[in-house]
């Protein structure tokens, strides 16, 4: 762990991480607990689990509070005495499992609650976890290649999830510079936008392994071979949040009101190759298959829609790939940036080798546990 003494401001800080039991949030909590300027990390999560308490150290305690960010009074109670908020809580849904109004209520209205509570309680610093899905692809499937945070990209966002994150981003940026009560200070906000994130507890990887094993170890993929997309290890995404939150306090004139795209040294821009390297590194029997044609998936999606309409409400099939998600996966959306390094000295905390090792070790343990919990079938 890097020396954090350079950040010392002469007092122990209390951080609140909303969604701190989630995929990215848990890694943020782990890294915050290793910083000597943090005395307490409060975790506010609707599915609050005690597991994150294992990250507590001799100098940093972890307090877990169960709550929904739509409950303003409960959120207000959790935020009393907090110095910094890292807001990661959100409904992440790509398969139309969650109604749009519910996702909007959490991702947009919940974010508004966080910002209002910060102004009310004079909590001056907010780092918001957004997504590149808030930028695009758009409904015309226009690609972005070698873009940066300053690249102009317009049009209606394709994914419903991305639409809610774009609305929340707008709230966060508009809140920057607002006066907070009591001390006459101003709110400073910034935004971190990950693209495709992988790492420990990424259940999509675990499910892909199960699917590949069911097909004889063959890992097929959806995206064309020339499609490019950023893939970033979750530990590096979390590290960018930790550095941004600290430097938002030290250099608000630079970071406040800014958006940062996450990045690291993951070696390929092709998502299916990253998945293959991770899965084959864990299980050498996994073989890279072939691309599933777009037209075949398009037909399956519309067939699924018809079946769901005809059989509803008697049968509710499992969520399936939908057209917005298919179009997103098959559209190049790749950026090259060093803005986080230039503004607050970010460099990846974990190399590609270490990221791969940590991910494959978790996958091995996760698949082993899944097999051990499967019921034994009687031979007949």
Strand partners, 237: none
Length of the chain (residues): 380
**Could you tell me which residues come within 8 angstroms of residue 171 by beta carbon, excluding any fewer than 6 positions away?**
108, 111, 112, 115
The DSSP bridge partners found for residue 260 are 192
The secondary structure of 320-370 as a DSSP string is ---HHHHHHHTS-EEE---HHHHHH----SS-HHHHHHHHHHHHHHHHHHH
Half-sphere exposure of 159 (CA within 13 A, CB side): 27
Helices 271-282 and 352-372: crossing angle in degrees, nearest 10, is: 60
Structure token pair of residue 259? 């958006």
Task: Quote the tokens at residue 180.
Answer: 């907070």
**Do the beta carbons of residue 23 and residue 201 sit within 8 Å?**
yes
Helix axes 110-121, 72-79, angle to 10 degrees: 40
Spatial contact of 57 and 33, defined as CB atoms under 8 Å apart = yes
**HSE-up (13 A, CA, CB side) for residue 98:** 17
The residues carrying an active-site annotation are 161
Q: State the DSSP H helix or E strand holding residue 64, giving kind and residue range, or none if neither.
A: strand 61-66
Count each helix (H run) and each strand (E run) in the chain, helices first.
Answer: 13, 13
> What CA–CA distance (Å, rounded) separates 46 from 114?
14
Contact indicator for 25, 245 with CB cutoff of 8 Å: no
The torsion of the CA quartet 163, 168, 174, 175, rounded to 10 degrees, works out to 180
Q: Which uninterrupted H or E stretch holds 127?
A: strand 125-129
């Amino acid at each position: 762990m890097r020396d954090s003494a350079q950040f010392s401001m002469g007092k122990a800080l209390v951080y609140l991480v909303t969604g701190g039991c989630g995929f990215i949030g848990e890694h943020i909590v782990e890294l915050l607990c290793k910083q000597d300027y943090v005395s307490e990390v409060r975790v506010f999560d609707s599915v609050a689990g005690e597991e994150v308490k294992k990250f507590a150290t001799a100098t940093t305690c972890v307090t877990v509070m169960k709550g929904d960010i739509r409950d303003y009074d409960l959120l207000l109670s959790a935020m009393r005495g907090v110095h910094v908020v890292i807001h990661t809580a959100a409904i992440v849904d790509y398969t139309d499992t969650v109604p749009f109004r519910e996702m909007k209520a959490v991702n947009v209205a919940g974010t508004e609650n966080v910002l209002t509570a910060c102004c009310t309680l004079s909590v001056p610093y907010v780092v918001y976890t957004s997504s590149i899905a808030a930028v695009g692809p758009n409904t015309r499937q226009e690609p972005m290649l070698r873009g940066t945070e300053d690249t102009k990209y317009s049009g209606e966002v394709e994914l419903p999830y991305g639409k809610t994150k774009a609305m929340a981003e707008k709230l966060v940026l508009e809140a920057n510079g607002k006066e907070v009560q009591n001390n006459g200070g101003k709110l400073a906000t910034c935004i971190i936008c990950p693209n495709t994130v992988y790492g420990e507890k990424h259940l999509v990887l675990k499910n892909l392994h199960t699917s590949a094993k069911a097909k004889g170890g063959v890992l097929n993929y959806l995206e064309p071979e020339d499609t490019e997309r950023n893939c970033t290890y979750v530990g590096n995404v979390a590290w960018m949040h930790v550095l941004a939150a600290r430097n938002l306090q030290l250099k608000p004139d630079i970071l406040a009101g800014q958006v940062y795209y996450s990045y690291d040294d993951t070696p390929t821009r092709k998502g299916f190759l990253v998945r293959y390297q991770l899965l084959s590194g864990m299980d050498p029997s996994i073989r890279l298959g072939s691309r599933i044609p777009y037209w075949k998936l398009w037909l399956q999606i519309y067939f699924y829609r018809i079946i769901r309409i005809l059989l509803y409400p008697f049968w509710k099939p499992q969520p399936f790939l939908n057209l917005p998600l298919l179009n997103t996966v098959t559209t190049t959306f790749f950026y090259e940036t060093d803005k986080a390094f230039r503004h607050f000295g970010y460099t990846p905390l974990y190399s590609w080798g270490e990221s791969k090792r940590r991910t494959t070790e978790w996958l091995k343990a996760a698949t082993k546990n899944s097999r051990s919990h499967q019921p034994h079938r009687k031979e007949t």
